[in-house]
Amino acid sequence: MSIPTNSWEKKRVCVTGGAGFLGSYVTAKLRERGAKEIFIPRIEDYDLVRPEDIKRLLDDSRPDVIIHLAAHVGGIGANREHPAEFFYDNLMMGVQLIHQAWLRGIEKFVALGTVCAYPKFTPVPFKEDDIWDGYPEETNAPYGLAKKMLLVQSQAYREQYGFNSIFLLPVNLYGPRDNFDPRSSHVIPALIRKCLEAQDSGVEEIVVWGDGSPTREFLYVEDAAEGIVMATEKYDGSDPVNLGSGREISIKDLALLIARLTGFEGRMVFDTSKPNGQPRRALDTTRAEKYFGFRAGTDFEQGLQKTIDWYREARKR
């Protein structure tokens, strides 16, 4: 079921996680396209780990389309401290929501996976067909495997029931309104915060987890939102699809770049007692362009500068 751009005003859309970082951009993209009935469940009202709350959500929202962005997420530290919660919460949310959506005849379901689902030593760039060729990196395997089960479910429900669900695999996101909480943030907001706080306090060094050698790919959040909405509009297949920017950068180079953009002139100390995480991460993004015409459009340095500028202002409030 493709959704022409001009037909969103006729669709009722439920965006789980719509009040969050990525969700706020996805809902903005939907509104730009004319969507008028967007239901955003709040965690205070609907605990999506509970089956009865999922049923009540669908009773209340009566959606034609579900875009499932809600997730229990965090950086390496949070994944190490809460592996059971990350596995259970993400699995239960997704599996039950897909099942109930099928039971109610929802027209289309969009499930978001994670780059953490890929095997630890996947050849770079990661191709979607490599996703089953090994076990994920240990520090985030419970989270990655829970999300990967939604791919299995999506494909199984399409095969047996003809249920139209798709599965997208985004790389790590960044941008304004990201999570800057040091207990759970990912690497870009964590480094931005460390650099700015070091400047404020006159500290001459900041500590970076690991030895700096791992590589990562990052996707600007607004680009990710555009890719998700484009896939919702144009893609109706079983194959998982990567969403990325096509740029790989080492953690060391990332830290030096953020230091330059924030104006931090001190030293970088790499704490090798902390885990590196997956050795390399970079996606093959040709499938997204082929299937629904998506290519990331934001220059990495410009995206970082927008993120830094937003956080500087947010700290003043």
Q: Which residues are catalytic?
A: 143
In this structure, how many other beta carbons lie within 10 angstroms of the beta carbon of residue 100?
Answer: 16
Residue 222's nearest CA partner among 123, 294, 288 is 294
d(CA 209, CA 33) in angstroms, rounded, equals: 41
What are the C-alpha distances in Å from 202 to residues 194, 197, 263, 283, 308?
A: 12, 8, 12, 38, 19
For the chain, the straight-line distance linking the first and the last C-alpha, in angstroms and rounded, comes to 44
What single DSSP character describes residue 124? S
Alpha carbon separation from 109 to 51, 54, 99, 305 (Å, rounded): 18, 14, 10, 34
Structure token pair of residue 141? 């395997």
Tell me how far apart the alpha carbons of residues 29 and 47 are, in angstroms, rounded to a whole number. 25
